[in-house]
């Protein structure tokens, strides 16, 4: 993998395959991970362990079939934007959702140093109610 775009694509491939250790391994030790304010996991997590605890463990524990599938990428050097769609079924209610997302990734020395999520948080929250 030579480019930041290749590295970000590999992160989505690992996430889709359920390979969370590979996703976490692509994050810098000081990664700043921002989930959209107002969303179910809104806020900032710093470091791979915090991302695991605050985001991935909740997604895995609370959702069936949660996915984040990118369909377009825009890359400029070490900044990559992924546009895609979330989907999943909230276990507690059995309700499903689909919502568009934009993710902005910043990489340095081949590792993600920043992640910022943009999505329709109201749509994401509906199945949780």
Q: What is the pLDDT of residues 81-95, one digit of tens each?
A: 999 999 999 999 999
User: Is 95 part of a structural domain of the chain?
Assistant: no
55 in Cβ contact with 119 (< 8 Å)? no
User: Is 26 part of a structural domain of the chain?
Assistant: yes
Three-state secondary-structure class, residue 34: strand
Strands 111-119 and 27-35: parallel
What six digits make up the tokens of 33? 């991970």
User: Is 35 part of a structural domain of the chain?
Assistant: yes
Question: What CATH number did the domain enclosing 35 receive?
Answer: 3.10.450.50
Average pLDDT, the chain: 96
Query: What pLDDT band is residue 2 in, cutting at 50, 70 and 90?
Result: low
User: Is 129 part of a structural domain of the chain?
Assistant: no
Number of domains in the chain: 1
Q: What is the pLDDT of residues 17-53, one digit of tens each?
A: 999 999 999 999 999 999 999 999 999 999 999 999 9
Strand locations in the chain (E): 27-35, 43-46, 63-76, 79-90, 96-108, 111-119
Range of the domain at 80: 4-60+72-85+100-120
Query: What pLDDT band is residue 1 in, cutting at 50, 70 and 90?
Result: low
């Amino acid at each position: 993998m030579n480019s930041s775009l290749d590295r970000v694509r590999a992160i989505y491939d690992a996430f889709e395959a359920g390979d969370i250790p590979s996703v976490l391994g692509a994050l810098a030790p000081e990664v700043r991970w921002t989930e959209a304010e107002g969303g179910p996991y809104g806020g900032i997590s710093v470091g791979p362990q915090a991302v695991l605890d605050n985001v991935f463990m909740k997604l895995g524990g609370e959702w069936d079939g949660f996915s984040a599938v990118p369909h377009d990428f825009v890359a400029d050097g070490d900044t990559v934007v992924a546009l895609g769609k979330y989907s999943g079924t909230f276990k507690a209610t059995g309700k499903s959702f689909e919502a568009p997302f934009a993710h902005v990734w910043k990489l340095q020395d081949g590792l993600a140093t920043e992640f910022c999520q943009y999505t329709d948080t109201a749509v994401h929250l509906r199945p949780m109610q």
